[in-house]
Amino acid sequence: MDLNVVILAAGKGTRMKSTLPKVLQPLAKKPLLSHVLEISYDLKATNVVVVYGHGGEAVQSVVEKLHSEHTIAWVEQAEQLGTGHAVKVALPELTAGTQTLILYGDVPLVTEQTLRSFIESTDEEGCGLLTVQLDNPKGYGRIIRNSDNQVEAIVEEKDATDLQRQITEANTGIMLVNTALLQKWLPTLGNSNSQGEYYLTDIVKMARDEHISVQASIVQDPMEVEGVNDKVQLSQLERRYQKKQAENLMRNGAILADASRIDIRGDVAIGEDTFVDVNAVLEGRVRIGKNCQIGPNCTIINSSIGDNSVIHANTVIQDSSLGDTAEIGPFARIRPGTVTESRVKIGNFVETKKSHIDEGSKVNHLTYVGDAEIGKGVNIGAGTITCNYDGVNKHKTVIGDKAFIGSNTSLVAPLNIGEGATIGAGSTVSKDAKENALTVTRAKQITLSDWQRPVKKT
């Protein structure tokens, strides 16, 4: 059956104390709303409607860039008159003959598994509620059940009696309703309550009055339905999210030095028996092979690392692909467009960018390699730079197999270094170097025996 998803995302979020709209606040470096949209797509929703309000232009701009492959229907709730009113303004965008799932842009941790189970257990012609058992349900609407344990109504806390406030089963706000029933009921909602708002929860009583099925499913993990109202709650959900991601990695064979000191900010997969030391940040799409060692304080962004590789401490790898048995760092910066084959070594304080480094080559320390094609078995000495930028355009350096580049060498691109060539230390090479030959550019060394070292004046 087709599925509408309506995401309520109009709140200002005053308690966030931020100029950023609440649904754009970051969790794992993604807007809260993005997490909810991703769940909607995982559920194969055929129609996704976002009800926006405060900061609408910013919300649309940011979210559409992040989810450009999907179509989102945007509906403005110009006045925040309650959840019932918010869903009502979305009615024209809903596909008829379906169910409509109502989610919240500031409730980011609900899982696909929970929602699928909820959908499967709800009568397609009726109404479903996702509820939660809380030791302290202060602020939540209470679930009112009859003597047969059937849901009769939801009472908001401000409208509840003292006895009703003692109920520990609370409303999460997440509902699944036959779309035709929403189209029938929402235009008739009233606002005779302490808030003067149109409560979506009032449709439960309407359903019972018409003898329509109302089913309540209790969520197993209360954190899944926890909302974000301030930055303290945002921090709590961030830690919970990170804990869950770390546990998933460990269940799939990764070894984490400290599961509380790793940040997963995207789609991350780590092979069996790979060890990740503390304070790693893994962002975007990251693939790390088996039996690797990731040192402390490393940042890996949208990159892949082959099996049996060692990434030493304080290394940054971004938009790159590293082959098997790589050894990188410490303090290396692997910039976008770097591709290495197997057994490549890139040492401390080396920076690479938009370069291909073939099997068994070494760039050991204090070197910059940019816009370069480096062959197999090449050794590049300390202090070498590829001078790839002339102030206007970038140029390429090509180094043949088994070439040896001496320390403190400047390779002025465009340039070709032949296979097996040797470049003497301290050279500035601006013309192609022949294969299997020594190329050296160096001023003649002289010694002045009668030279007087300067003396400090008194």
Q: Are residues 215 and 235 in the same domain?
A: no
Is residue 458 in a domain? Answer: no
Q: Are residues 260 and 388 in the same domain?
A: yes
Q: Are residues 206 and 263 in the same domain?
A: no
Is residue 450 in a domain? Answer: no
pLDDT of residue 314: 98
Residues in the chain: 458
Q: Are residues 112 and 11 in the same domain?
A: yes
Is residue 50 in a domain? Answer: yes
pLDDT of residue 192: 83
Q: Are residues 162 and 239 in the same domain?
A: no
Is residue 452 in a domain? Answer: no
From 225, 256, 288, the end of a domain falls on 225
Q: Are residues 382 and 314 in the same domain?
A: yes
pLDDT of residue 1: 66
Is residue 394 in a domain? Answer: yes
Q: Which amino acid is at 90?
A: A
Q: Are residues 181 and 285 in the same domain?
A: no
Is residue 255 in a domain? Answer: yes
Q: Are residues 115 and 26 in the same domain?
A: yes
Domain of 95 in residue numbering reads as 3-225
Q: Are residues 257 and 209 in the same domain?
A: no
What CATH number should be reported for the domain holding residue 359?
Answer: 2.160.10.10
Q: pTM for the whole thing?
A: 0.90
Q: Are residues 36 and 176 in the same domain?
A: yes
Domain count, the chain: 2
Q: Which residues of the chain have pLDDT under 70?
A: 1
pLDDT of residue 367: 98
pLDDT of residue 11: 86
Q: Are residues 84 and 138 in the same domain?
A: yes
pLDDT of residue 216: 92
From 209, 225, 241, the end of a domain falls on 225
Is residue 100 in a domain? Answer: yes
Task: Give backbone dihedrals phi and psi of 389, rounded to 5 degrees, phi first.
Answer: -125, 125
Which residues are the active-site residues? 365
From 225, 253, 286, the end of a domain falls on 225
Q: Are residues 187 and 327 in the same domain?
A: no
pLDDT of residue 194: 77
pLDDT of residue 245: 97
pLDDT of residue 146: 87
Is residue 35 in a domain? Answer: yes
What CATH number should be reported for the domain holding residue 61?
Answer: 3.90.550.10
